[in-house]
Amino acid sequence: MRIAVYPGSFDPITNGHLDIIERAAELFDRLIVAIAKNPLKKPLFTLEERLDMLRETLKFYPNIEIDSFDGLTVNYLKAKNAQVIIRGLRAISDFENEFMMALTNKKLVPRVETIFLMTRAEYSFISSSAVKEVAMYGGCLKGLVPEYVELKLREKFRKEGC
């Protein structure tokens, strides 16, 4: 069985993430979308809120599992018996950091592969941080995030929708 892990902050999940998830789920028997509990990051949404948004958005995909983990991604992969890390690439600016992470993970556990899926052109500009900024100032979130996430962002910032 081919198992892949798509790790990230998902603060919150966007349509860009969703596109990568749908495509990765087609390629593997099982895809685990896992929130990395990075103590260095200050997320807007709590871990529980982010898990809830992932669960709600991905509830109709039979081969997708939602989870969270502490510590190194490669250790999490071992625990889950997974071989592949999925990451999305939007622009050249993503490359340097992703390249460094992929090489570090390869050094730690040589049998682990990182597979990059290129964003779809129409999602290439979407990031969780831009989405949060739009939401904070009451801008229209249609097409940027799943509807459930739109609702949660509006609740968080107490802003009306469009």
Catalytic residues: 17, 41, 90, 128
The total of other beta-carbon atoms located within 10 Å of residue 103's CB is 11
Pairing of strands 84-89, 64-69: unpaired
65 touches ligand ADP by CB under 6 A: no
Candidate list 56, 65, 94, 113; residue touching ligand ADP; CB under 6 A: 94
Question: Of the ranges 43-51, 63-71, 75-83, 123-131, which one interacts with ligand ADP (CB under 6 A)?
Answer: 123-131
Residue with tokens 């009451």: 138
Q: Which residue is nearest to ligand ADP (CB)?
A: 16
129 belongs to an annotated ligand binding site? yes
Of 1, 5, 2, 3, nearest in space to 87 by CA: 5
Query: In sequence order, what DSSP letters do the residues of 60-99 get, joined into one string?
Result: T-TTEEEEEE-S-HHHHHHHHT--EEEEEE-SHHHHHHHH
When asked if residue 20 is in the footprint of ligand ADP (CB under 6 A), the reply is yes
- Piece in contact with ligand ADP (CB under 6 A), picked from 69-77, 86-94, 103-111, 137-145: 86-94
First-residue to last-residue Cα distance in the chain: 44
Residue 12 binds ligand ADP, judged by CB under 6 A: no
Residues that bind ligand ADP (CB under 6 A): 8-10, 14, 16-17, 20, 87-88, 90, 94, 119, 123, 126-128
